[in-house]
Amino acid sequence: MKFTVQVNEGPYQHQAADSAYQFTKAVLEKGHEVFRVFFYHDGVNNATNLTTPPQDDRHVVNRWSELAKEHDLDLVVCVAAAQRRGIVDEGEAKRNSKDAENIADGFRISGLGQLIEAGIQSDRVVVFGD
């Protein structure tokens, strides 16, 4: 089965990001395909490389980056939601005259069309968070 996962909550404000990560990992371990993970609303905060949790806490952003690298996952961050929350990649930084980028490894910024495409291409879209 082919899944798309939508994450609507940040990494430390809500259980949704942890649940989405655990679900995605379990789906892959069972041999299913994850077409795309789409980060929307506050979920885009899962994509900032500025997250620095205490050493004894889980590092949700790094978990996503490592899972993406291991399984060649497409981690897409909604461009409008990211801009509102100060998350930019190199292209968005240049386009908006910012002096730095802060998107974590394995993530990319794109538009809502990526979510629509994922819904069409997948058997199931599973949403975590409001």
The token duo for 22 is 């655990």
Catalytic: 78? yes
Asked if 110 and 72 touch (Cβ cutoff 8 Å), the reply is: no
Q: How far is CA 47 from CA 11, 36, 120, in A?
A: 9, 14, 24
Choose, from 17, 77, 78, 82, the residue flagged as catalytic.
78
Q: In one letter, which amino acid is 39?
A: F
Q: Which residues are catalytic?
A: 78
